[in-house]
Homo-oligomer: A and B are copies of this chain.
Amino acid sequence: MGKVKHRRLDQLADLCRQVGDAMQRASVALLDADRAMAEKVITGDAALARARASCEEQLLAATDLRVVLTAVHAVDTLERMGDLALHIARAARRRHPAHVLPDELRVPFADMGQLAITLANTAEQVIRTGDPELAAFLDASDDTMDDLHRAVFATVTRADWPHGVATAVDATVLSQNYERFADYAVALARRTSVIARSELAA
């Protein structure tokens, strides 16, 4: 029984890593105006949907309804995180061969991308290990993400912003995508850490 439970969380953790990988590719597509990388994320979404369905199917075999509820929420959250990576990839493809972002926003967006990937990887580790110390790390990273998001907004609404309204809007929406991705990763880790611990103890 303990072994079956363990496999179940492993599949959820694998799904989390796949979503983190999608975000990594989307961030490269955005920063490098890399169309092939954007396409990889966009076409890869079907595989992600299959992985989610399989993960959810497996949950139906569970006996502890609290675990089922938490895991269904987790799959739902991972779907939304995948959607955010998809939005970023689509923005990169839409503007290709142009860059979506002006050079002055490259650094904060590279930081947000790195942070998003780290948060997804940390959530994956929380699901695998239930380690409570990782939760504190997540909160600190989420604060950093919020600061970066606010800084981008301040930059694009500056009186002397030279890149026009459309670019400002694109940058804000993209920045918001990263910020929401981080929020979801933190919520996911927090919700699943409790069942992860009890599953490993079982």
Contacts and interface: CB of A to CB of B under 8 A. Distances in A.
Contacts of A156: 165, 169
Nearest to A76: B76
- Copies per complex of this chain: 2
A56 interface: yes
Interface string A136-157: 0000000000000000010011
Contact of A65 (B68, B161, B166): B68
Interface string A169-187: 1001100100000000000
A72 interface: yes
A168 interface: yes
A161 B169 contact: no
A60 interface: yes
Given A165-B156, A172-B173, A65 B69 contact: no
A190 to B, nearest CB: 15
A60 B68 CA distance: 10
B173 A166 contact: no
Contacts of A73: 72, 76
Interface of A: 56, 59-60, 65-66, 68-69, 72-73, 76, 80, 153, 156-157, 161, 164-166, 168-169, 172-173, 176
